[in-house]
A and B are shown apart, each in its own frame.
Chain A
């Protein structure tokens, strides 16, 4: 990757907290105009990776670059926007004042009115931050992340506590920015959020990058497909078929997990002529996620057992 398309990177980065290793020599590249979703269970090392890219912490080994510089330099951070889930903004300041303050950190910010419009908070400018609802606070934080005309935005769980309509609006605003050439790093627990927005997904577990690729590639790595149908077939017969990984009955409905959906469907139709409402789904990101993180846990347990 050359320097022009690469906006930020971690190279062979290790970070320890005491005896605990938070990151085991990970590599990560953020490209221009791309939305990267960073996924992983709590404690996977997502926050540490973000903290390093923001210059909040320093690596024990490896290199961290933000626009070709050390992220602790102001000049590098003047090109980013940040939305952190945990930050409690000053309660008594008005929304307009918060926007003006944050914009003052940047060389060529948007006007207060422009950033308010982008985030849909025009009507909130005179309200004290403490008086806002949870969803309004998220939108204000989003406006603060945009107000400096950033080339790279860090969004940490941006839609926690938002209702569906507000979430869809925020997604649309994020997509617009990516379309305009802005890069975004998104950390989220909502897998559908990553599915809806991400060009690329990096999945972390136990301080390692366990998968990197497009949403489709990630899904493909998990070959499991889900078959659902209404059938009177006894569950034990289906379980006996070699292609079937798992099967479960829920009233009249059968749920089958398999890597060879075509063969299983053929056998199902042969075995039960009264079968109705047949559906076949590809595994979603959620399944891929559980599958991949389970693999890693199993490997680690095995390694630990070997060592013991």
Chain B
């Protein structure tokens, strides 16, 4: 088969994946609106013009919002498609296996960017956080690529759970992880052992990068980027192995 037709298969798969979720917004919308609503409540309504708090919360709710599409978009859809036989059919068809994953990844990145743009709008226009164009672009880029490690985590979770129970199970990962890495309350306000434990969560490392993007973290970022890359690679490998073996 010509490389052009193979590329066409990748494109068609990505297009279908995006189309089907854009037409069923109820699947992605709760995930994308969650963090915006939180930010409106805690960053704008309750916050009464504390600029630093609004800036800090913009970063941490961005992190919270970026995780959702990757974790749920991948985890829930994979769990349902494994259950409903769609994955079996796709594995039997000559679909390039990468196309399936790339399509879902693209959709998660799109949704994560959408969340980040929403939060940026609330931050800039309602909470009056002053950001340079560079900072906005940095946060947006973090949103897009920061979704990837959580796609890997979601994908691995999706190979372990099946069917309609998936959203509940994934929330059991999402919510505690968000809390323990300081996305709801700043880490210094949390008990000592939670602070010490924080670096084991990928969300903690992503949060360090979003904080840097809005100008609140001036330390070196490469250790966090490295941890996230390693995390993504590890879960991708685990998930790919399980998918190949068990489908």
**Given that A56-B247, A91-B24 are contacting pairs, would A74 and B92 also be in contact in the complex, using a CB cutoff of 8 Å?**
no
Chain B residues with CB under 8 A of A90 = 16, 20, 86
A107–B12 CB distance below 8 A: no
Chain B residues with CB under 8 A of A102 = 93
Checking A86, A89, A92, A105 against B94 with a beta-carbon cut-off of 8 angstroms, the contacting residue is A105
Complex CA distance for A93 and B13, rounded to whole angstroms: 12
Complex CA distance for A77 and B20, rounded to whole angstroms: 26
Selected A-B contacts with CB under 8 Å, 18 pairs: A74-B1, A74-B96, A77-B92, A77-B93, A80-B92, A82-B89, A84-B88, A86-B88, A88-B86, A93-B16, A98-B16, A100-B12, A101-B15, A104-B8, A104-B11, A104-B12, A105-B9, A148-B94
Is B23 located at the chain interface by the 8 A CB criterion? yes
Give the interface size bracket for B toward A: 20 to 34
Interfacial residues of chain B within 90-112, with CB under 8 A of chain A in the complex = 91-96
Chain A residues with CB under 8 A of B92 = 54-56, 77, 80, 82, 84, 154
Distance in Å from the Cβ of A84 to the closest Cβ of chain B? 5
Complex CA distance for A77 and B85, rounded to whole angstroms: 18
Which residue numbers of B lie inside 8 Å of A, CB to CB?
Answer: 1-2, 5, 8-9, 11-13, 15-16, 19-20, 23-24, 84-86, 88-89, 91-96, 247
Checking B12, B24, B84, B247 against A101 with a beta-carbon cut-off of 8 angstroms, the contacting residue is B12
Chain B residues with CB under 8 A of A289 = none
Complex CA distance for A89 and B92, rounded to whole angstroms: 14
Look across to chain B and name the residue whose beta carbon is closest to the beta carbon of A102: B93
Chain B residues with CB under 8 A of A87 = 84-86, 88-89
Number of interface residues, chain A, beta carbon within 8 A: 31
Chain A residues with CB under 8 A of B85 = 84, 86-88
Look across to chain B and name the residue whose beta carbon is closest to the beta carbon of A148: B94
A78–B1 CB distance below 8 A: yes
Complex CA distance for A75 and B84, rounded to whole angstroms: 26
Interface hub of B85, B93, B95 (most chain A Cβ within 10 A): B93
Q: Which 10 A-B pairs have the closest CB atoms?
A: A88-B84, A104-B12, A86-B85, A87-B89, A92-B23, A87-B85, A77-B94, A54-B92, A107-B1, A78-B94
Distance in Å from the Cβ of B246 to the closest Cβ of chain A? 9
0/1 string, A220-250, CB within 8 A of B gives 1: 0000000000000000000000000000000
**Given that A56-B88, A88-B85 are contacting pairs, would A82 and B5 also be in contact in the complex, using a CB cutoff of 8 Å?**
no
Is A97 located at the chain interface by the 8 A CB criterion? yes
Interfacial residues of chain A within 68-116, with CB under 8 A of chain B in the complex = 74-75, 77-78, 80, 82, 84, 86-93, 97-98, 100-102, 104-107
Chain A residues with CB under 8 A of B5 = 104, 107
Distance in Å from the Cβ of A76 to the closest Cβ of chain B? 8
Look across to chain A and name the residue whose beta carbon is closest to the beta carbon of B11: A104
Complex CA distance for A98 and B12, rounded to whole angstroms: 10
Complex CA distance for A74 and B95, rounded to whole angstroms: 8
A92–B84 CB distance below 8 A: no
Look across to chain A and name the residue whose beta carbon is closest to the beta carbon of B5: A107
Complex CA distance for A54 and B86, rounded to whole angstroms: 14
B89–A84 CB distance below 8 A: yes
A92–B91 CB distance below 8 A: no
